[in-house]
Chains A and B, each alone.
Chain A
Amino acid sequence: MTTHSSNHYFVPHGAIYPVALSAGLLSLAAGFVFSVATDKNQDLAYLQTPGHWMMYIGAAIILLMIFKWFGAVVIESVTGQYHKWEDKSFRLGMIVFIASEIAFFAAFFGALFYMRIISVPDLAAFDPAFTPYKDFLGTWPSAGPGGVVLGTEYKPGTLNPMGAWGLPAVNTALLLSSGATITWAHWGLLKDNRKQLVLGLFLTVALGVAFLICQAFEYHEAYTEMGLTLRSGAYGATFFMLTGFHGFHVTLGTIMLIVILLRSMKGHFSSKSHFGFEGVAWYWHFVDVVWLGLFIFVYWL
């Protein structure tokens, strides 16, 4: 049963943002395909430059439309169009959206577990008479049996995995503390203590940026010193795709945090109505929890 005080639901006026956003995505996607077409067919090299331009134009449209769309919703919010009933829709929507994000990460965790438990050990379990990879041990971390096969000689590929207790441990501390600071900011908001809200959000943004800087250092070290790249077999693929998508989500989360920090400084949100704040906070906690999974299964174990 639905319970709501007002009998009037706010149905927003139409807007061009969604359809323009889709056009931007079409341009970005088609441009990307043109840009990488030479990978499979050398004759398509002439598509590269138009492809790049389509990507730039598409990305610009997308950014502009996201800005305008969220802007319109913020204006509707501060002019008091949304009440309890609409607020509940936003909350439920955000929860379901985060659930879909969890499913997205589950695909990559699934790939990681499949490779660790099934495909890598299986490649080492062949009868030696039938495999070129005689010395492949199938232990994790692994770049796979790839390596070099010369006649009957086989040399497994080398792999330097990323240790858990250097920068990754620092990053864990950074993200966990940011979870605490945003909760502290929320307490401030609930008490209508604007100073605590703004300071808490500022600290959260700072911790998020620090995390991203550490991760940039980590990637740099992996590529330049350790020879660990996206091409490093099963470990390289799962390591960079999982941490990379997570880093992308941290970046989005940080941008969202900056937006609500600026809005808090302008005096938006009140102790009674602050879905914008809470939506970002939930998203941030989700990013935090995914990191814990990464730290345990990608770095540590």
Chain B
Amino acid sequence: MSTTTVAHHDEHADHPTGIMRWLTTTNHKDIGTMYLTFALIMFLVGGAMILGIRAELFQPGLQLMKPDFFNQLIGVHALVMIFAALMPAATGFANWMIPLQIGAPDMALPRLNNWGFWLLPPSAILLTLPFTLALFGIGDGALATGWTFYPPLSVQGGIGVDFAIFAVHLLGISSVLGSINIIVTLFNMRAPGMTLMKMPMFAWGWLITAFLLIATIPVLAGAVTMLLTDRHFGTHFFDAAGGGDPILFQHLFWFFGHPEVYILLLPVWGFIPQILQTFSRKPMYGYKAQVYAFWGIGALSVVVWAHHFFTAGLPVPALLYFMYSTMAISLPLAVLFFCWIKTMWKGSMSFETPMLFTVGWIILFGIGGLTGLVLADVAADAQYHNSYFVVAHFHYTLFAGGIMGIMAGVYYWLPKMTGHMYNEKLGKLHFWLTAISFNLTFIPQFFLGLAGMPRRIPDYALQFAEFNMISSIAAFVLGLSQLLFVYNVISTIRGGQKATDKVWEGAEGLEWTLPSPPPYHSFTEQPVVK
């Protein structure tokens, strides 16, 4: 990306070029670039998988694939999108932006940082290798359990499950290393004068994310390890004959899985208010309230996990507790929504692509949040559970709330990272195509779910045909319009109108005081923040 590799430090005088630069780098910008590139590639891989699913669901009946392969595509799509697209994208921004935003010379533990990235390609290989092996007649393909690995299905499955277990292990190590690095960087590398309560929101979002990762990823590692020993070494963690319980896995998995939702969203909630204040040209509203809301959401997120399996047969007091605690999350979240809207209130707003994505994001993520509130109701959930309503809900939170938020960040910071302005017209076209086709894909799924169409099934009853057809066509438009994004990003990297240092008229923060693109080593002398 940045071709100006001026060596400032004596120890960097001999830093390698070509492929070795990327394999061995300890530079936060290089590592951030690798994370973001990897995320973009895997986003396309995961997207291609789900287009296969939508093609199968275009009509009732089995057209293109066997049900087992359908199941494999669904599970690997989710794992790829969550672990190999969204999380690396957020980590890539953390690498690029946190040192620039807090005035640090680099991340605190640079070699660990490099390892954190280089664990990702092996994990991606482990996840997708079973597909390739199956082509050569080895094994029966990737895991067909859905991304949640529920036993007993996952205890019975073939080598695809084992590969996925180890992929999750490596991804987990990567996340823990990344979190260690970010926590240490935020506590130890801030510029003199930058107190915790002066940190940019993005840094705050990542700090809470890192705490959640440290608390929950090892629990997932433990859960899949139990799965591995149940599969191969005769333990009975999830087998009632030995006193175990398949529901135990659901508890362990969702103790990780629910905070994971906030792990994916908190970094985005970090840069959304920064983008809002830039394009509203007034300071963000309620900085302190937002920080406290982050803490509140982080704390609540680890005590609400069982709302993912209300129908599994929990005792009534547990159902009530998990219902009320889940609904309680909407209070700090409402604080955030209020602050976002109030930041725009009476501002002199302009709608460049990042702002378009952000405003669209607020509305669509709002729909995701409100439908979540419906699902949190135990009585209502009995109808919605395992239906397409759930699928639509979490795509409003994770595609709109996650991916579209990340895209807002890409358009916002790309000029800073590359030194070139992206193509504004193409960016706006990308936004409108994405927003419209996204809604056309998922609004029908709400109704399909309410009408009783179950998720993860390759065939469906005839009355669901029209809505599935609409959803499939829109999904292909959504998928293809992402190619515009890829084209825009690549052409921005390769050239284009020169970006100014500040890039945006209303931009605030240390990263905008550096040239665009910033030098290879920035803030070798720490700035003083007043």
- A300 CB-CB contact with B under 8 Å: no
Q: Contact at A103–B215, with CB atoms within 8 Å?
A: yes
Asked whether any CB of chain A lies closer than 8 Å to the CB of B237, the reply is yes
| A89 and B184 form a contact (CB under 8 A) | yes
Residues from chain B with a CB closer than 8 A to the CB of A85 are 188
In angstroms, Cα B245 to Cα A233, docked, is 11
How many residue pairs link A and B with beta carbons under 8 A? The number is: 254
Is B235 touching A231 in the complex (CB atoms < 8 A)?
A: yes
Known: A29-B166, A92-B188. A19 touches B222 (CB 8 A): no
| B526 cross-chain contacts in A, Cβ below 8 A | 7
Q: Is A271 an interface residue (CB 8 A)?
A: no
B229 contact set on A, CB distance < 8 A: 230, 237, 241
Cβ-defined contact, A19 with B244, below 8 A: no
Known: A11-B110, A14-B114, A33-B166. A39 touches B231 (CB 8 A): yes
B122 nearest CB neighbor, chain A only: A26
Whether B126 and A30, one on each chain, are in contact in the complex, defined by CB atoms closer than 8 angstroms, is yes
Shortest beta-carbon distance, A189 to chain B, in Å? Answer: 24
In the complex, what distance in Å separates the CA atom of A22 from the CA atom of B34? 15
Q: Is B317 an interface residue (CB 8 A)?
A: no
Give the docked Cα–Cα distance between A233 and B162 (Å): 22
Structural contact, B111 and A15, CB atoms closer than 8 A: yes
**Scoring A residues 232 to 243 as 1 if CB is less than 8 Å from chain B, else 0, what string do you get?**
111111001100
Q: Any chain B CB within 8 A of the CB of A36?
A: yes
Do A234 and B244 contact each other (CB < 8 Å), given the known contacts A47-B138, A97-B180, A101-B218? yes
In the complex, the answer to whether B16 meets A14 with C-beta atoms within 8 Å is: yes
The answer, yes or no, to whether B115 is at the interface (CB within 8 Å) is: yes
At the interface with chain A, which of B19-27, B408-416, B427-435?
A: B19-27
Number of A residues near B (Cβ < 8 Å) is 74
Interface centre among B115, B176, B244, by most chain A C-beta atoms within 10 angstroms, is: B244
Bound-state Cα–Cα, A144 to B230, Å? 15
Q: For residue A101, which residues in chain B have a CB less than 8 angstroms away from its CB?
A: 218
Closest to A237 in B: B235
Q: Does A123 contact B (CB under 8 A)?
A: yes
Cross-chain contact A17 with B122 (CB below 8 angstroms)? no
Contact A9 B189 (CB under 8 A): yes
Q: Does B232 lie at the interface of the complex (its beta carbon under 8 Å from any beta carbon of A)?
A: yes
The 8 Å CB contact of B115, one of A22, A26, A39, A122, is A22
B362 within 8 A of A: no
Whether A115 contacts B139 in the complex (CB less than 8 A), given A14-B114, A22-B118, comes out as no
How far in angstroms is the closest Cβ of chain A from B37? 16
Report chain B residues within 8 Å CB of A174: none
Known: A30-B129, A36-B232. A111 touches B12 (CB 8 A): no
Interface 9-residue window, one of B101-109, B277-285, B436-444, B510-518: B101-109
- Contact between A93 and B115, CB atoms less than 8 A apart: no
The reply to whether B243 and A143 form a contact with Cβ atoms under 8 Å apart is: yes
In the complex, the chain A residue whose C-beta lies closest to that of B187 is: A92
Give Cα A105–Cα B215 distance, bound, in whole angstroms. Answer: 11
Q: Decide if B169 is an interface residue (CB 8 Å cutoff).
A: yes
A118 at the A/B interface (Cβ < 8 Å)? yes
Please pick, from A44, A69, A88, A233, the residue contacting B242 in the complex, using a CB distance under 8 A.
A233
Chain A binding surface, main DSSP class:
helix
Option from B126, B194, B234, B255 in Cβ contact (under 8 Å) with A231 = B234
A97 to B245, CA, bound (A): 30
> Chain A, 31-44, contact with B by CB distance < 8 Å: what is the 0/1 string?
01110110111001
| A89-B114 in contact (CB<8A) | no
A270 to chain B, nearest CB (A): 22
Q: Mark B293-327, 1 if CB is under 8 A from A, else 0.
A: 00000000000000000000000000000000000
Please determine whether B241 and A145 come into contact, CB atoms closer than 8 angstroms.
Answer: yes
Which parts of A82-96 form the interface with B (CB within 8 Å)?
85, 88-89, 92-93, 96
Task: Confirm or deny: A177 has a beta carbon within 8 angstroms of a beta carbon on chain B.
Answer: no
**Bound-complex Cα distance A59 to B192 (A):** 44
Asked whether A25 and B245 contact (CB < 8 A) given A9-B189, A11-B9, A39-B231, the answer is no
Q: Residue A247 at the B interface, CB < 8 A?
A: no
Residue of B with least CB distance to A238: B237
Is the beta-carbon distance between B218 and A241 smaller than 8 angstroms?
no
Say yes or no for B499: interface residue by CB 8 A criterion.
no
Bound: A7/B526 CA distance, A: 7
Let me know if A230 and B111 touch, CB within 8 A.
no
Residues of B within 8 A of A16 (CB): 23-24
Do A103 and B16 contact each other (CB < 8 Å), given the known contacts A2-B192, A33-B162?
A: no
Contact A103 B214 (CB under 8 A): yes
**A6–chain B nearest beta-carbon distance, Å:** 11
> Known interface pairs A44-B138, A111-B226. Does A13 touch B159 (Cβ–Cβ under 8 Å)?
no
Q: Which residue of A lies closest to B177 (CB)?
A: A97
What 1/0 mask marks residues of chain A from 216 to 232 whose CB sits below 8 Å from any chain B CB?
00000000000001111
Residues of chain A within 8 A (CB-CB) of B216 are 103
Given contacts A22-B115, A145-B243, A233-B243, contact A11 B12 (CB under 8 A): yes
Distance of A235 Cα from B237 Cα, bound (Å): 10
Distance between Cα atoms of A34 and B192 in the complex (Å): 53
- Chain B residues lying within 8 Å of A25, measured Cβ to Cβ, are 119, 122, 170
Q: List A residues at the B interface (Cβ < 8 Å).
A: 1-2, 7-19, 21-23, 25-26, 29-30, 32-34, 36-37, 39-41, 44, 47, 69, 85, 88-89, 92-93, 96-97, 99-101, 103-108, 110-111, 114-115, 118-120, 122-123, 142-146, 229-237, 240-241
A and B contact pairs by CB, cutoff 8 A, 8 listed: A12-B110, A19-B118, A41-B139, A41-B158, A44-B138, A100-B176, A104-B219, A145-B240
Q: A93-B184, A104-B222, A145-B243 are in contact. List 9 more A-B contacts (CB 8 A).
A: A14-B23, A23-B122, A29-B170, A37-B159, A101-B218, A107-B223, A144-B236, A230-B229, A231-B234
User: Lowest 6 CB-CB distances: which A-B pairs, in order?
Assistant: A107-B222, A144-B243, A234-B243, A14-B24, A18-B115, A233-B242
